[in-house]
Amino acid sequence: MQLKNDLILRAAKGESTERTPVWLMRQAGRILPEYRDIREKLSGFKELATTPQLAAEVTLQPVDILGVDAAIIFSDILVVPEAMGLPYEMAEAKGPWFPKKITTLADIDQLRVAQAELELDYVYEAIKITKEELNGRVPLIGFAGAPWTIFAYMVEGQGSKTFSNAKKMLYSDPVMSHRLLEKITGVTIAYLKKQIEAGADMLQLFDSWAGILSPAQYQEFSLKYISQICDALPEVPVTVFAKGAFFARKELGLLNCQTIGLDWNMGIAESRTIIGNNKTLQGNLDPCVLYTSFGEVKKHTESMLKEFGSHRHIANLGHGVYPDTDKDKVKCFVDTVKEFRF
């Protein structure tokens, strides 16, 4: 199937494009009334994520409603620990948590590794349905959590401001920590390869908790595994988004991937200098800009586009869109990017 709009793939590869492509992290979600309608009828997030026909439906919504240049499969990074034998729950206010978490080496040894990716058929099925229904309109992005971020949830058992239990394990037992990170890495590679087989045109790794590690820990416990994943996936363009890892931008620029995501703290010109010219940059508007007026959204978006320049940029926010953002402001952001010409 020939893609009718392959702007984002060309931008990722460093080819020239007629305009800057645009999508949003968390574009399939609570910002859309059409999503909330579907979600309300279900028992919870997990029913939606594990029912391929429904997951495909909400994946397509932002393409139809917002006109973004890519779809991203509706799922969660925590499906990987679940496939390894550590199921997660999604509590409405509290966020995700794990009834069983990792505290000992025995816990790690009991994890399922060989063919764990086969537990995630519902994701591949959702990708296949989405690809059919997209019918080549825009590319489909697959994704996974980076191993450190998955490790953080598996050890902490829930979200945390400090992830101090997870960091404690890194400091106190690096050997055990590496054993768990290796297992996560292996399953993640197999999982992402299956996503490509099912039809994902592009992949993104989310290292959501990159920013709570020291630079030395980040090198040892996160970048090493991200690098292995990038090396294992030559088939499609890969984006690495390491939120808060300003201190690792130079090393991120050396990864075997096409695109580096920036959060809104990371200066655009400075990041380009540090990362170099061989990567596409993605981001990085402050999600809070979308709380303001249409005029301000347009002004800040255009200013961001000018600073990134016409080459090797994929427009996005510097974080997932906040769930209480007005859909029309999101549309204004998307339209501003699509109408802008250098």
Q: Which of 30, 112, 137, 179 is catalytic?
A: 30
Helix, coil or strand: residue 332: helix
Cβ of 83: how many Cβ atoms within 10 Å? 23
**30 a catalytic residue:** yes
Is 26 an active-site residue?
A: yes
Among 283, 301, 187, 289, which residue's Cα sits nearest to residue 244? 283
Among the listed residues 10, 19, 76, 107, the single catalytic one is: 76
**56 vs 266, which CB is nearer to its own copies?**
266
- Binders of its own copies among residues 219 to 258 (CB under 8 A) are 244, 246-247
| CA–CA separation, 329 and 214 (whole Å) | 36
The tokens for 49 are 């994520």
DSSP assignment of 175-191: HHHHHHHHHHHHHHHHH
* Closer of 237 and 318 to its own copies (Cβ): 318
The answer to whether residue 341 is catalytic is: no
3-state SS class at 76 = coil
Q: Which stretch binds its own copies (CB under 8 A): 119-127, 137-145, 147-155, 168-176?
A: 168-176
Radius of gyration (C-alpha) of the chain in whole angstroms:
19
| Strand runs labelled E in 152-279 | 202-207, 238-242, 259-261
Min separation Cβ 15 and its own copies, Å: 30
Least distance CB 195 / its own copies (angstroms): 29
Catalytic residue among 35, 88, 124, 153: 153
The amino acid that residue 189 corresponds to is: I
Which range, of 20-28, 29-37, 150-158, 207-215, touches its own copies by CB under 8 A? 207-215
211 binds its own copies (CB under 8 A): yes
Work out the burial of residue 39: count CB atoms within 10 Å of its CB; fewer than 13 is exposed, 13-18 middle, 19 or more buried: middle
- Out of 122, 267, 274, 311, point to the residue binding its own copies (CB under 8 A): 267
For its own copies, which residue of 26, 131, 167, 313 counts as binding (CB under 8 A)? 167
Those residues whose C-beta lies under 8 Å from the C-beta of residue 129, and which sit 6 or more positions away, are 52, 53, 56
> β-strand 313-317 against 89-91: which pairing, if any?
unpaired
Piece of the chain touching its own copies by CB under 8 A; list 66-74, 150-158, 205-213, 275-283: 205-213
Nearest distance from residue 95's CB to its own copies, in Å? 10
Residues at the contact surface with its own copies, assessed by CB under 8 A: 161-162, 164, 167-168, 171-172, 211-215, 217, 244, 246-247, 264-267, 270, 286-289, 291-293, 296, 300, 322, 324
